[in-house]
Amino acid sequence: MDTKELRGFSKEELSSRVKQWQEQLFRARFQAQTTEKRDTSVTKKLRRHVARALTLIREKDLAVVNEGRK
């Protein structure tokens, strides 16, 4: 999922996506330790999705604060 798609979501939707991706990330890390076969790029992709979504949540929070100051 790219940033353009994520910008269309509300803060609540982004938060739910972050929670979902963090659960998937936990499962992927657990599978990495228990099995030999797996796609090694999954954890990297999930970490980046989480980081992008958290960044957009932070941007939305700051936009609300900055609008209040004007």
Q: Which domain holds residue 55?
A: 3-69
What pLDDT is attached to residue 37? 65
pLDDT band at residue 64, thresholds of 50, 70 and 90? confident
Q: What is the pTM of this model?
A: 0.84
- Choice between 65 and 22, residue whose per-residue pLDDT is larger: 22
Quote the CA–CA distance of 50 and 43 in Å, as a whole number.
11
Specify the long-range contacts of residues 22-27, CB closer than 8 Å, at least 24 apart: 22/50, 25/50
Q: Would you say residue 66 has pLDDT above 90?
A: no
Domain containing residue 28: CATH number: 1.10.287
Q: Is 14 helix (H, G, I), strand (E, B) or coil?
A: helix
Interval 6-56: pLDDT, tens: 999 999 999 999 999 999 999 988 888 887 667 878 999 999 999 999 999
**Number of structural domains, the chain?**
1
